[in-house]
Structure formats: C-alpha cells, structure tokens
Amino acid sequence: MKDEIIGKCIERNFFCISFECFSNTIDRIITLGSKTIFIKTKSMNFIQYLQRLQVKKTENPSYSFLSKLQEQHLLTIPFENLDIHQGKKIVLEEDRIYEKIVACGRGGFCYELNGLFCWLLRSLGFIVSIVSARVYMPTKDRFTPEFDHMALLVDLEKTYLVDVGFGDNFRKPIALPDGKSEDISGRYRLRSFAPGQDTYILQKKDNNYKVQHL
C-alpha cells in the first residue's frame, strides 16, 4: 500500500490559493465557525464539462452528487503528463486548462485536474479548499517536497478529501479526520499525522495499510 500526506491546508479559509481570481465572478459569503469568508469564483460553462464527465444533470450540493462527480471524473478524464515530458510550458490558468481538458478532450496532471475540478465544484455551489500534499516514496522511505501534489477538501455536513489527480485513486470522497472508503481500486483510510496538526495521512491497503500521501 502507498501513502500520501494531505494537509498543511494552505490558508485553509482562502479559496484562491493556486488559481487566480478574475473579475467575472460569482460572489458568495459563508461562515465557518467564527470566521466570515468572502468567496470570488470565476463563472464557468459547466454544461460542457458535465458532458465530458457524462453527467446528464446538475443537483444541489450533496455527498451523493459529489461522489458521482468524482467517480465520473476518474472514469472519463485520464491522468496525463505528456506536456511535462515534452518540455512544454504549463500555465495554471483556468481558461487554458478548461480548453485543454474539456474542449480538446485531453487529460492533465494533479494541478490541472484538481484545479479544474475545484472550479467546477465551486460553480455548482460546493465549498472547496485547495490543499498541498506530499507523496510517499517507499524506495527512499521519505515524502516528496511540499506542493508536489495538490488535492481538495469539500465542506458539506463534514469535510471530505477529494482527489481526481492521482491516477487510479479512491472513487468516493473520504471524510476527515478518520474516514474510510472501499471500491474497485482498493481500500483507503485517513489518519491524523500528528496530534494538534491539521495534517492527515491517506493510506491504501494491499495486505496491510501503507501510506499513499500526506
């Protein structure tokens, strides 16, 4: 099994961490605990995106709809890093990623896939945070550097880990802090990395649970 560290929520309450906010936005005000947060999200043509995912209609934000979107994303849009190997410049602008993945029918790597999926979810009314993750390398027994991977946290009745940018991965969102998930790709669970830290380990079970990312 592999592991991954999810966490170090990069400014957990600010929702435009890796992607720029634009003037053409949907504005919302939400309250998380004692904090009031003003969210600006660029509007998107999500109908074409949903057609790419083979999702026929929108629904109100819910765990079931989020699960459907995540699973369909993993089944229809591949992890692809051809541009990286070909030395092409990758610009993390939402419009350019949308053109590549939705309009041109290609895939992308984690920042492209999860970045675009974040934009879709926000456009559909979900509350989403972008977080940094570090992938465990068993041959070297260490984690990759901070920001090596990007994942999402979605706030519903609980906070859920969502990731459509890690290849063959868990199909349904996993609840923090200690949720579990099982599907055709394997058995997964979340565990706290250390007491008092806003950091979690995602584990996937082969014979035993092993770290996938942090």
Task: Tell me which residues are annotated as active site.
Answer: 110, 149, 163
Give, rounded to a whole angstrom, the gap between the first and last alpha carbons of the chain: 14
Distance CA 204, CA 155 (A): 23
Nearest to 49 by CA among 123, 108, 109: 123
DSSP string, 50-114: HHHHT------S-HHHHHHHHHHHHHHS-B--HHHHTT------HHHHHIIIIIS---B-HHHHH
Q: How far is CA 143 from CA 73, 75, 197, 200, in A?
A: 26, 28, 17, 13
Q: What are phi and psi of 186, to 5 degrees?
A: 145, -170
- What lies within 8 Å, CB to CB, of 16 at 6+ separation is 40
Distance CA 190, CA 202 (A): 5
Please, how many CA atoms are within 13 Å of residue 44, restricted to the half-sphere of its CB? 29
